[in-house]
Structure 1
Amino acid sequence: MAGETLPGTTANDDADGSDRVVFHVDMDCFYASCERLRRPELAGEPLVVGMGYEAGETIGAVATASYEARAFGVESAMPISEALELLPRRTNADPTDPDAPDPTETGRYLPVDLDFYKDVASDVKAVLRDAADVLREVSIDEAYLDVTDRTAWDVVGEEADPPPSAAAGPAEARTLAEGYARYVKERIEREAGVPASVGVAPNMSTAKVASDADKPDGLVVVPPGAVESFLAPLPTAEIHGVGPVTERTLAELGIETAGDLAAADPDRLGDELGDRGVELFRRARGDDEREVTPTGLPKSLSRESSLPATGDDETKRETVAALAADVARRARERGCLYRTIGIKAVEPPFEVNTRARSLSGPVDDPDLVESVALDLLAEFAGDRVRKLGVRVSNLDFAETDQATLTGFDPADTDGVERDRGSRSRSIAPDDGGGHRDGGKLTDWVGEEPTHGSAESGGEGDEGAESGGEGDEGDDETGGGTPDRRSRRPGGGQASLGDWS
């Protein structure tokens, strides 16, 4: 479609004539959505998930608040004590007490359960990895996908009478990109059980803005030729990289909207804001040439499979053997060795168990992956499971000689710490000097390193993505803390580091 524009759009040769298709996937109130997944009765209820919070207490901070809770003024990073003033606990609503709060103005408060959220996130990540050849994970609830090789901006149907777009945003005609985005959204909800908002655009910064534009459970499509007109009426705070300090500076310059920013003198912006000013000028015009790139080499490779809850040992062994073969194949394709082999078994309803064994050195041995995984699985003989996974970790991408495994006995359990219902720590064999050369499986689902980031529930800017991405960094938030989340004091937001 080079050189063409979609029906209902106007050409813009200056900025957004790209054929690239970028998705920004942002999970809606992710922690709250996870809690509703296992407790469906919470649907529609004002729900607050607190970090450092215990049931019935007043200490801690809001990690995320559902949209129903936000209607009462509850915000991420707010102290729990302050949130309780705005939204009392439902348990305190006694209909026989005239001084008790109105039940319709109360909410549910739950403590953070990071292990469970990571388990749900792994299901989301599996969909995203399958849907895109290039994936950049920002945090547990946010990722960019370059799907240019999977879809296109071509209009569906006859050019003379194209079907109207069913998505929010400026797109007037339905495109292949819109259909693929809807497919990804529906897969996330079907396979992970949680809603997501997706922004579709020719570049990263516009896709980010688009995913925020129709929350929750939204889909906004901004085709080439419509980027600048889509951005123009938005307040400057909506432009990716504009934090509260920059927003105030721009306001002092008479710049209130993205359109004002796009029409401003870039030299003046450079004088006031340095290189960031020029970069923001370009983004307001829809000009963002950054490529979606992975966040780094993986720390582990894993594959999981959901199945109807079953205690049949042969079914479980067949599943684990297939997963082990796939993980070993992926490791070989990426040219990496591994030092630790582990499994995950999720028992109904959501009890996550992991087991791992560390080897004496890095190997590339598919048969060993299967053997160790099946040996670890033996502990769950007869137990009903709803999901199984196999993982290799402590990866080594350097060219190196593999360790010899003389004397390694797959039946030896000295290298495994048994810890049902919690993350396991794998312990390497002692080297004879009292030292153990092993890694710990504290993050089963974490594969790509990212900066620590709070769960945003769809309201955070990309402060976790520091370093060349236009986020505010120290100038705005003290080290890249997510922008809008940091507009109020208080910390204690959840930090998961790796998202999967």
Structure 2
Amino acid sequence: MDGDTLPGTQQPTTGADRVLLHVDMDCFYASCERLRDPSLRGEPVVVGMGYEPGETIGAVATASYEARAFGVNSADPISRALDRLPRRAEADPDDPNAPDPDRTAHYRPVDLEFYTSVAADVKAILHDCADVVREVSIDEAYLDVTDRTSWGLAGQSGVDEGDPNTGDDANGGDDGDGDVPESAAAGPAERRTLAEGYARYVRDRIEREAGVTASVGVAPNMSTAKIASDHDKPEGLVVVPPGRVREFLAPLPTETVHGVGPVTARTLAEMGIETAGDLASADPAALEAELGERGRELHERAGGEDDREVTPTGLPKSLSRESSLPPTDDEETKRERVKALAADVARRARERECLYRTIGVKVVTPPYEVHTRARSLPGPVDDPDLVEAVALDLLAEFADDRARKLGVRVAKLDFADSDQATLSGFENTQAENGTSGDRGGERSDDHGRDDGRNRGDGDRTGGRRQRTGQASLPEFE
């Protein structure tokens, strides 16, 4: 069977028992442009630099899958991209010399600030779904969800684990007769595991709440999870249970093995090594002689051996929670949603034993205009009632606006033993207003660092709250 452990067992966690996810966003920049302009969905989209009038030098940053079908790929020179897919703006059905509209693309300049704001939404979801997250780039992260799910088979615990609160899974649940359902994911898994349901929950939540799509690989080690996430794009879900890793990797070309680049692949080919299976079966000493220390490491990864742990990349700089809703201008609906978000953010801060110096809200209005407001406090506090009060006060500015998403955050976190500020100077604090249209402004997740120079000067109490450890949920950098 595919799962090594069953729900309810108390066996100690081993390397094979780990459940790791690799989340890789699908054509992320293009997805963000489609989020901003829904008319681009299903159309070839190319994001890069050098497309503006008068520019002749540039490169493709991201090409949607529709654009890739015409041979346009990331890092292509602008001249090659435009040759294969002219600008849609140049198409004219009435002009026989104009490009065919069906063989053109929408070109957009890179808007990194907007993409980073969307990435912050995604990472907030990931940090809520895993105790340990390692951010690799703006569109890629590893999650260790071993404490949230298991390789146990779905149906044998009486619930098919998707949403951890309801057990809901996008494909239904147990078939009702006690049999384990077949896996609905790509990859070698034959029966559905709880890990599969949880990974689907993470993937679907990203699309539902952040509005962009991702592919997820599930495996007992990092290198296999990364390969799996790229195996069935876009919107893929590939599950590689313990005991099936080597089988999954064996037929894949050596270039798919984490750490094998084009030069190394050519060297391996000259040695007669074409696939991961060939690499796993090769003489480690010969590989080490040819490739140095990396040779043995690549040999192990090709065989499914990778004991690296998912390690966080630092302490969080903010904690946030967001929620989508049908566009509404009903003030009470928005207030109730913000109250719930404020309570959740304050709870998470208390669980992580951190204080905060900034409270903010995020309001997204149709089609995707992002507005943020934040207020600095005179010093670090732990006060759920204050989070709600400030959030509602900041929300009041948008009382008459239609909102499609709302968010609450606390920022400038303090994880060291600190004196808490009293509220005597709170009325004199200033709101930090920052509207930037759809570019995000001051985002729901604070990416700045607090170096201690911006500490408030309000009165302080003498009480201290002792810490038992540091937070384990880093925010996206």
Does residue 234 of the first structure (1) align with residue 234 of the second (2)?
no
Gaps of 5+ in 1: 7-15, 425-440, 450-497
TM-score, L = length of structure 2:
0.79
Separation in structure 1 between the aligned mates of residue 119 and residue 222 of structure 2, nearest angstrom? 22
8 A Cα contact 2:3 2:241, kept in partner: no
In the alignment of these two chains, the number of paired residues is 426
Residue 284 (structure 1) shift: 0.6
What is aligned with 1:91?
Answer: 89
1:353 to 1:19, Cα distance in 2 relative to 1, 3 A = same
| Residue aligned with 2:367, SS | coil
Partner of 1:273: 291
Q: Mean alpha-carbon deviation: is it higher for 166-175 or for 222-231? A: 166-175
Residue number in structure 2 paired with 1:333: 351
Q: Which TM-score applies when normalising by structure 1?
A: 0.75
List per-residue Cα deviations over 1:289-315 (Å, max 9, x = no partner): 122232221011111222232223333
Structure 2 runs not aligned, ≥5 long: 7-13, 157-176, 450-474
Which residue among 68, 71, 88 is the counterpart of 1:70?
68
AA aligned to 2:278 is: D
The aligned amino acid for 1:92 is E
Tell me if the contact between 1:338 and 1:395 (Cα under 8 Å) persists in the aligned partners: yes
Corresponding position: 1:47 with 2:45: yes
1:61 aligns with 2:59: yes
CA distance in 1, matches of 2:5, 2:49: 48
Distance 1:274 1:401, change over 3 A: farther
1:399 corresponds to which letter in structure 2?
A: D
Judging changes above 3 Å, is the alpha-carbon distance between structure 1 residues 91 and 56 closer, same or farther for their aligned structure 2 residues?
Answer: farther
Asked if residue 166 in structure 1 is aligned to residue 184 in structure 2, the reply is yes
Q: Secondary structure at the match of 2:141?
A: strand
Amino acid at match of 2:437: G
Cα distance in 1 between the residues matched to 2:194 and 2:275: 31
- In the TM superposition, residue 330 of structure 1 has moved relative to its aligned partner by 1.7
Q: How does 1:51-200 map to 2 (within 5 A)?
A: 51=49, 54=52, 58=56, 60-156=58-154, 163-200=181-218
Report SS of the residue matched to 1:190.
helix
More relative contact order, 1 or 2 (CA 8 Å, 6+ apart):
1
**Aligned equivalent of 1:430:** none
Task: Return the alpha-carbon distance in structure 2 between the equivalents of residues 5 and 320 of structure 1.
Answer: 40
Q: Give the share of equivalent positions with the same residue, in percent.
A: 73
Give the secondary-structure state (helix, strand or coil) at the position aligned to 1:402: strand
Q: C-alpha distance in 1, partners of 2:25/2:287?
A: 34
1:210 pairs with one of 218, 224, 228 = 228
SS in 1 for 2:186: coil
Cα deviation per residue 1:40-83 (whole Å; 9 max; x = unaligned)? Answer: 43233211122475479555432210112112221213333331
After superposition, what is the alpha-carbon deviation per residue over 1:432-460, rounded to whole angstroms, capped at 9, x for unaligned?
xxxxxxxxx744335699xxxxxxxxxxx
Q: Distance in 2 between matches of 1:329 and 1:378?
A: 23
SS in 2 for 1:327: helix
Measured against aligned partners, the alpha-carbon deviations of 1:106-165 in whole angstroms (never above 9, x if no partner) come to 111122344543454444334434433333332332222223333333344689985443
Q: How many angstroms does 1:94 deviate by? A: 2.3
Instruction: Answer yes or no: is 1:300 the counterpart of 2:318.
Output: yes
Distance 1:279 1:323, change over 3 A: same
- Tell me whether 1:291 sits opposite 2:309 in the alignment: yes
Does 1:416 pair with 2:437?
no
Query: Which amino acid letter does the alignment assign opposite residue 28 of structure 2?
Result: F
Distance 2:71 2:340 in 1: 49
CA shift digits 1:155-187 (9 cap, x unpaired): 446899854433222223333333333333333
Contact map agreement 2:327 2:402 (CA 8 A) in 1: yes
Structure 1 SS opposite 2:17: coil
Separation in 2, partners of 1:66, 1:88? 15
Aligned Cα root-mean-square deviation (Å): 3.3
Residue of structure 1 in register with 2:30 after alignment: 32
Aligned twin of 2:445:
445
Any idea what the Cα deviations from partners look like across 1:414-433, whole Å, max 9, x if unmatched?
x5245353678xxxxxxxxx
Q: 1:372 aligns with which of 387, 390, 398?
A: 390
The residue type equivalent to 1:199 in the other structure is G
Partners of 1:211 and 1:219 within 8 A in 2: yes
